[in-house]
Structure 1
Amino acid sequence: MGIITRTVIWTILAVIICFILVWGINRHRMQSLRTPDEITQPGPAIPANPEGNWPQFHGNQSQTGYVNGELPDSLKPVWKFKTGGGVKSSPAIVNNIVYIGSSDKHIHAIDVQTGKPLWSRLLDDEVETSPTVIDKVVYIGTLAGTLYALDSGTGAELWKFSTEDKLTGGVNWFRNAENNLYILAGSYDSILYCVDARAGKAVWQYETGNYINGSPAVDDKYCVFGGCDAIIHIINLTDGKKAGEIDTGAYIAASAAIRGGFVFIGNYEGELLKASLATHEIAWRYKINKSPFISSPAVTDSTVVIGGGDMNIHCIDILTGMARWTYKTLDAVNSSPVIVGTRVIAGSDDGRLYMLKLTDGKMIWSYETGRSITSSPAVANGMVVTGCDDGMVYCFK
């Protein structure tokens, strides 16, 4: 081997060693710059759950109701599970288990592949709330105003927390800088509660002027929810203090969604609003007739989709607030749509589950149950699950 050849080889090796050293130093610096808050606080909504789970109402803490992926043009029924009462609760799906409440006063755990029951737990009243599943615990509320924490594997009660009136919206959650988990629940007693997930005790509460019907949305700083006092409430997660409020002019029964620093929510006067969490200014109002928005919006980077009391599913441009399309069903759409890639899935009080094209609103599939669908769909690993007022839980693929 000549001198020139050896020199070239040693030069190349030196460059490689330098590159590895620099990369390692920079990687260490990037990791050391992460604060505890960045590691432990809830972040903004992500479009897809890498584990293929749907752990709470509308899929994530920000309640955007959007997941990547695609569905076939025609879904096929996989199974039906019969409960003892109507199912207004929206399902959660975690580790191939469906969790859903019923007016039969039970929460049911069902194998998502087979539809076979795994366990059920009798609670103190009917269940309309959507379960939230995190850290192997199921959190769910009842019309008696009780928030339960149950073991996700067995249904065993870990603790329960009592409010002064019924719980109808799903609960949400966040972690503090010490990685402690806290549960957020709004009640018809007009109070939003923050409950320690370990002890089942309230650590703070925020009082509003009227019922809280929907589920609170969470980003990295705030808990955001609407109330029957017509106000969008923006609350600091750390101490439960008011960060801001936005008067919508009509009471709010729906749940909020957060995306890109904005909140999206509908009210009872047929207005869907987009408002800034930073300035508390309303960016736009999308108005239909006086029919209420009970449905909660699904939100992507460019599009908002929501069901209306006017029997339509509405698709709105996220920047302009202008309609892109509407699709008319045969009754009110109080179920909250979900967006799966280029598909929209939504139930209607006409008893049908619809799948539409996100691009133009054309219907490509529907399934008739015969009874109202006010439950909102959950989507995980290509499975679509929803409840129905006929007492059934339906799974499609």
Structure 2
Amino acid sequence: MLCLAAPILTLTSLGAPGDWPMFRGNSGQSGVASGALAEELELAWSFQAEGAIVSSPVVADGRVFFGCDDGKLHALDFESGEELWALATEDIIEAPPMVHGDTVYVGSSDFFMYAVDVESGQLKWKFETADKIAGGATWVAAPSGAKKGEAGAGRLLFGSYDTRLYCLDAAKGEELWRYETGNYINGTPAVDAGVVVFGGCDAVLHVVSVDTGKALAQVELGPDSHVAGSVALAGGRAYLGHYGNAFVCVDLKEHTTVWSHRHKSQPFFSSPAVGEERVVFGGRDKRLHCVQRSDGKEVWSFPTRRKVDGSPVIVGDKVVFGSGDGWMFVLSLEDGSELWSYEIGRPIMSSPAVVDGHVLVGANDSRLYCFGPAPKGPEEGIK
């Protein structure tokens, strides 16, 4: 166990945290957080790592986990930002971790998926693929028909640049099935009702049975419509952007496109946040876009100075995201007006985790940042 760096602290108290245990917060990849954000945020702490942080942080049981270009999986204390442990891999970690129970799972560019004890940082098992792993994993319960112990504590689903989606016994790291696609898999698979849904760099939306690993549907997205982000599931529909310069909504029963929000020249890399009435996503056109969930018509867009590849999070009536221009923003979900911003100064490719009114995000300056509510002033009763 090695503490590599000390956090920079302010006096903000974090209190007992909730959970954001995986990329986008849940297995449906909705990108919607519970609770609310304060009108003003301030830096609670930051942690200095030894490489750029593209990996998106997750939070579970008072611990923060993230990967780094230093090749390590880091575990921090949510309250203080102090490092608890770090596990070294053989290459950079772009993938977001995922926590279930006493295990944190993370893929590395060294081709391995790692299962690590959350308390000690000790390796439980690792599984080798044939190329790097850039997306997160999703945990699902063993199928109801499985014999006791047949699938361990559950199943672990993740994609690799070797073009395969893998399903492992989450407890043992043993392969249960693999699903072949035609190109890289970059995103985190979304799961709902026994079905796993993901887009690939083969320009196909894949719908696969969690139990059998067999294809249920393959929806062609069009020429050069590679999918780099994760798919969000809501109400029987899949929401995703692609390199064909469009963001689309696909009906998962009919396997048809419900609507398409197109850009004249720029693709969509960011994963969406899907609220009750609105969908929010970043674009390579340097904007954050908000469209109506029902028909894809644009409600507003917010300009930044660089591409928005990181994925936004909806929190109540607000949306939070980082941009490649080095700024963090909180906007009104209603009209896209800017409510708060913070200049980090280096590109933000990581997507935020939102827990109990706190926002955690990594940046290319090798720091992980935690922002919390700013103290209220005397006019609000604080003396």
Counterpart for residue 327 of structure 1: 302
Distance 1:180 1:116 in 2: 30
Counterpart for residue 55 of structure 1: 21
Asked if structure 1 preserves the Cα contact closer than 8 Å seen for 2:239 and 2:248, the reply is yes
Quote how far apart the aligned CAs of 1:269 are.
2.1
Asked if structure 2 preserves the Cα contact closer than 8 Å seen for 1:293 and 1:309, the reply is yes
Quote how far apart the aligned CAs of 1:95 are.
1.1
> Which SS does the other structure have where 2:124 is aligned?
strand
Q: Deviations over 1:161-191 (max 9, x none)?
A: 0000010011112112158410011000000
Counterpart for residue 345 of structure 1: 320
Quote how far apart the aligned CAs of 1:289 are.
2.8
> Which SS does the other structure have where 1:195 is aligned?
strand
Distance 2:61 2:90 in 1: 27
Counterpart for residue 68 of structure 1: 34
Return the letter of the residue paired with 1:59. G
Note the 1:11-26 alignment, pairs <5 A. Answer: none
Q: Does 1:380 align with 2:346?
A: no
Quote how far apart the aligned CAs of 1:52 are.
2.1
Distance 1:299 1:255 in 2: 12
Distance 1:205 1:251 in 2: 21
Identity %: 41
Asked if structure 1 preserves the Cα contact closer than 8 Å seen for 2:249 and 2:257, the reply is yes
Structure 2: which 5+ residue stretches go unaligned?
A: 1-16, 147-151, 373-383
Q: TM-score, normalised by structure 2?
A: 0.89
- What RMSD in Å do the two structures reach over aligned CA positions? 1.2
Q: Does 1:204 align with 2:204?
A: no
Q: Give the counterpart of 1:285 among 260, 270, 276.
A: 260
Q: Deviations over 1:264-291 (max 9, x none)?
A: 0100122111001111011000112322
Counterpart for residue 238 of structure 2: 263
Return the letter of the residue paired with 1:336. S
> Which SS does the other structure have where 1:57 is aligned?
coil
Return the letter of the residue paired with 2:282. G
Q: Give the counterpart of 1:395 among 348, 370, 374.
A: 370
> Which SS does the other structure have where 2:86 is aligned?
strand
Counterpart for residue 43 of structure 1: none
Return the letter of the residue paired with 1:333. V
Counterpart for residue 233 of structure 1: 206
Structure number with greater CO (CA < 8 Å, separation at least 6) is: 2
> Which SS does the other structure have where 2:41 is aligned?
coil
Q: Which runs of 4+ in 1 moved over 4 A?
A: none
Q: Deviations over 1:3-56 (max 9, x none)?
A: xxxxxxxxxxxxxxxxxxxxxxxxxxxxxxxxxxxxxxxxxxxxxxxx820000
Counterpart for residue 181 of structure 1: 154
Q: Give the counterpart of 1:113 among 79, 96, 111.
A: 79
Q: Give the counterpart of 1:159 among 98, 116, 125.
A: 125
Counterpart for residue 285 of structure 2: 310
Distance 1:95 1:367 in 2: 27
Quote how far apart the aligned CAs of 1:68 are.
2.7
Q: Does 1:213 align with 2:186?
A: yes
Return the letter of the residue paired with 1:231. V
Counterpart for residue 217 of structure 2: 244
Q: TM-score, normalised by structure 1?
A: 0.86
Q: Deviations over 1:132-158 (max 9, x none)?
A: 000110000001110000001111000
Distance 2:74 2:273 in 1: 26
Distance 2:295 2:254 in 1: 18
- The structure richer in helix per residue is 1
Q: Deviations over 1:320-373 (max 9, x none)?
A: 110010000111000000001011000000000110000000001111111000
